């Protein structure tokens, strides 16, 4: 069990640029979640996948955000035409689908939009 | 819809003193309840969880929490804190039939010598 990994850990970009983040879940986990955390707040749910199917998407996720999990393993989160309000920590978590599932969180990708 | 309210944004306490971090939740359906800890520049780490059964749950690092259904609360306690417990603590709920978790805004625990 190597844990959930995220890449990059930090990203600084200029407003209007596109960015893509990657999440590698724990290998046997078929559920993968994306959350966003801004300073002074708890994580907010963005979307989650079961295998390659995107099962739920938050209304927080505007049309500029898209997430994929093409082979049911790693996932990518892309933000197009970044805005300063997108600056946040983007957290990925994974879990199994058992009744007693718990989510394992990665270290996050900190995005700064200048 | 679900919501979580952490009643204290900051809790300062002296080393070896007891501490309670308060969490209330609102939900129209059955939920699972969680407490996470986040150290600076690190991801969230699960402290403990309530799924069913005994309302008093014990977690890592000497923490425990009690589920009170009538008061819709899930307060976190530790009888004697250490400097190393200084961190951000998050309470979270999850619908038993859904995947996503709803988090509170966090409580910053600062343990002073």
Task: Encode pLDDT of A66-102 as tens digits.
Answer: 999 998 899 999 999 999 999 999 999 999 887 667 8
Q: Answer yes or no: is pLDDT of B23 > 70.
A: yes
pLDDT at residue B22 is higher than 60:
yes
Identify the top-confidence range among B13-17, B25-29, B98-102. B13-17
DSSP 8-state code for residue A103: P
The number of C-alpha atoms within 13 Å of A39 and in the hemisphere containing its C-beta is 6
Confidence of residue B42 (pLDDT cuts 50, 70, 90): confident
Q: How confident is the model at residue A14 (pLDDT cuts 50, 70, 90)?
A: very high
Q: What tokens does A109 get?
A: 């990708």
Res. A1: pLDDT tops 60: no
Taking residues B82-90, report their average pLDDT: 96
Say if the Cβ atoms of B105 and A41 lie within 8 Å. Answer: yes
CA distance B46 to chain A (A): 8
Tell me whether residues B100 and A42 touch, CB distance under 8 A. Answer: no
Q: What is the pLDDT of residue B28?
A: 85
Alpha-carbon distance values, A112 to A9, A78, A91, A105 (Å): 11, 14, 14, 21
Q: How confident is the model at residue B64 (pLDDT cuts 50, 70, 90)?
A: very high
Picking from B67, B6, B70, the residue whose alpha carbon sits closest to that of residue B38 is: B6
Q: What percent of chain A has pLDDT over 70?
A: 97
Q: Pick the residue with more confidence: B51 or A14?
A: A14
Mean pLDDT of the region A27-44:
92
Chain A positions touching B3 (Cβ under 8 A) are none
Quote the pLDDT of residue A100. Answer: 67
- CB spacing of A48 vs B106 below 8 angstroms: no
Residue A84 is predicted with a pLDDT of 95
CA distance A63 to chain B (A): 20
């Amino acid at each position: 069990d190597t844990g959930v990994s995220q890449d990059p850990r930090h990203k600084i970009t200029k407003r209007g640029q596109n960015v893509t983040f990657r999440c590698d879940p724990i290998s046997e986990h078929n559920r993968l979640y994306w959350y966003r955390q801004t300073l002074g707040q708890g994580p907010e749910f963005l979307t989650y996948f079961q295998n390659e199917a995107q099962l739920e998407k938050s209304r927080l996720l505007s049309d500029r955000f898209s997430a994929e999990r093409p082979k049911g393993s790693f996932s990518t989160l892309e933000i197009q035409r970044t805005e300063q309000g997108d600056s946040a920590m983007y957290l990925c978590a994974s879990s199994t689908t058992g009744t007693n599932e718990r989510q394992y969180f990665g270290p996050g990708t900190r995005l700064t939009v200048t | 819809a679900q919501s979580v309210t952490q009643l204290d944004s900051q809790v300062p306490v002296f080393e070896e003193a007891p501490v309670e971090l308060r969490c209330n939740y609102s939900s129209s359906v059955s939920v699972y309840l969680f407490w996470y800890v986040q150290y600076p520049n690190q991801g969230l780490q699960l402290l403990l969880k309530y799924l069913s059964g005994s309302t008093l749950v014990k977690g890592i690092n000497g923490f425990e929490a009690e589920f009170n259904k009538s008061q819709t609360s899930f307060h976190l306690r530790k009888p004697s804190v250490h400097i190393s417990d200084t961190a951000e603590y998050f309470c979270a709920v999850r619908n038993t039939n859904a995947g996503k978790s709803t988090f509170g805004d966090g409580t910053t625990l600062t343990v002073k010598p």
